[in-house]
């Protein structure tokens, strides 16, 4: 039972044009699953696995802490969280529309939807800050009770990760002309899109957790 192992040719893997070498070499889009093309998406999938573990640790801490005793006092979640959630969901849609416009070679809508995504991202973070301000106005702070500790902790941790995605969006906005010409940045757009959707799903999960436990 001799099995022939198939592997892509050097050209397909990006060897032919030096794509395995320095960063930013031209013509790396040639070929199917070239190496230079795939490290970005592979890397972001792996990073998402790690971020998942990070939040899984917080989740298990929350479940354990909630079960420990009588000091777990539930907090009424600020209403603005629903608006924030809607904006974040919308931002995933606009980013997807942006990518589709790019693939259809329509530069205007590509840039427009990209800007909309970044704006919705900023609005989401501002909304999260407003939720904090509302809680603080009610006299609910980080250390007031364990439930609100987890509220602040999880929203802050998610916000910090989302801010990273936002930086990537700003970078794409700044380079949108070069991306539209197909010169570079395709991989960054792909990676950012994956990460942004992941932030979206992560928030839905956290929001559900907060709604159920906090």
Partner 1 sequence: MAACPATGRRMGGGRAARVPQSVRSSDMAKASSESVAPQVAQGFWRKYVFSTDHQIIGKQYYFLALFAALVAMFLSWLMRVHLAWPRLAIPGLNALSASGAPAGLMTPEYYLSLLTVHGTLMIFFVLTTAPQAGFGNCLLPAQLGAERMAFPRLNMLSFWLTFTSLGVLLASFFVRGGPAISGWTAYPPLSALGSITGPGEGLGQSLWIISIALFCVASLLGALNFITTTLDLRAPGMTLMRMPLTAWAWFVTAILMLLSFAVLLAACVLLMLDRVAGTSFFVPSGLIVSGQMIHGHAGGSPLLWEHLFWFFGHPEVYIAILPAMGVTSHLLSCFARKPVFGYRAMVWATIAIGFLGFLVWGHHMFVSGMNPYSAFAFAVLTVIIAVPSAVKTFNWLGTLWGGRLRLTTAMLFALGFVSIFVSGGLSGIFLAEPPVDVQLHATYFVVAHFHLVMGMAAMFGIFSGTYFWFPKMFGRMMNETLGKIHFILTFVGAYCVFMPMYFLGMAGNVRRYAQFVDPYLQPLMPLQRFITVAALGLGAAQFLFIFNLFWSLFGGKKAGENPWQATTLEWATPGAARAVYRGPYEYAVAGQEQDFVMQNAPDAGPSRARKEAADDNADQISNA
Indicate the Cα dihedral angle 150, 73, 79, 112, nearest 10°: 10
Shortest Å, Cβ 93 to partner 1: 29
Nearest to 159 by CA among 208, 126, 201, 118: 126
* Dist. CA 4–CA 144, nearest whole Å: 64
**Identity of the residue, 43 or 182, whose beta carbon is nearer to partner 1 in the bound complex:** 43
Shortest Å, Cβ 138 to partner 1: 18
Shortest Å, Cβ 13 to partner 1: 7
**Angle at Cα 17 formed by Cα 12 and Cα 23, nearest 5°?**
105
**Identity of the residue, 149 or 186, whose beta carbon is nearer to partner 1 in the bound complex:** 149
Binding site for partner 1 (CB under 8 A): 1-11, 13, 15-18, 20-23, 25, 35, 38-39, 42-43, 46-47, 49-51, 53-58, 60-61, 64-65, 68-72, 142-143, 146, 149, 153, 157
* Dist. CA 167–CA 165, nearest whole Å: 5
Shortest Å, Cβ 124 to partner 1: 22
**Identity of the residue, 50 or 79, whose beta carbon is nearer to partner 1 in the bound complex:** 50
Is the separation of the CB atoms in 173 and 114 below 8 Å? yes
Shortest Å, Cβ 135 to partner 1: 15
**Identity of the residue, 71 or 212, whose beta carbon is nearer to partner 1 in the bound complex:** 71
CA distances to 23, 49, 62, 112 from 40, in Å:
12, 14, 33, 25
């Amino acid at each position: 039972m001799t099995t022939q192992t198939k592997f892509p040719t050097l050209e397909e893997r990006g060897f032919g044009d030096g794509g395995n070498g320095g960063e930013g070499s031209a013509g790396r889009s040639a070929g199917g699953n070239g190496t230079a093309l795939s490290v970005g998406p592979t890397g972001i999938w792996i990073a998402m696995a790690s971020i998942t573990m990070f939040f899984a640790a917080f989740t298990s801490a929350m479940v354990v802490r909630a079960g420990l005793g009588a000091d777990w006092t539930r907090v009424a979640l600020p209403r603005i969280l629903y608006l924030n959630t809607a904006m974040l969901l919308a931002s995933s849609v606009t980013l997807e529309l942006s990518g589709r416009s790019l693939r259809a070679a329509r530069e205007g809508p590509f840039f427009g939807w990209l800007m909309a995504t970044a704006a919705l991202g900023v609005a989401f973070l501002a909304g999260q800050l407003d939720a904090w301000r509302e809680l603080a106005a009610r006299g609910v702070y980080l250390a007031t009770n364990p439930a609100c500790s987890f509220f602040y902790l999880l929203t802050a941790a998610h916000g910090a990760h989302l801010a990273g995605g936002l930086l990537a969006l700003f970078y794409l906005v700044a380079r949108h002309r070069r991306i539209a010409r197909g010169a570079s940045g395709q991989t960054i757009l792909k990676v950012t899109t994956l990460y942004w959707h992941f932030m979206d799903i992560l928030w839905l999960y956290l929001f559900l957790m907060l709604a159920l436990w906090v």
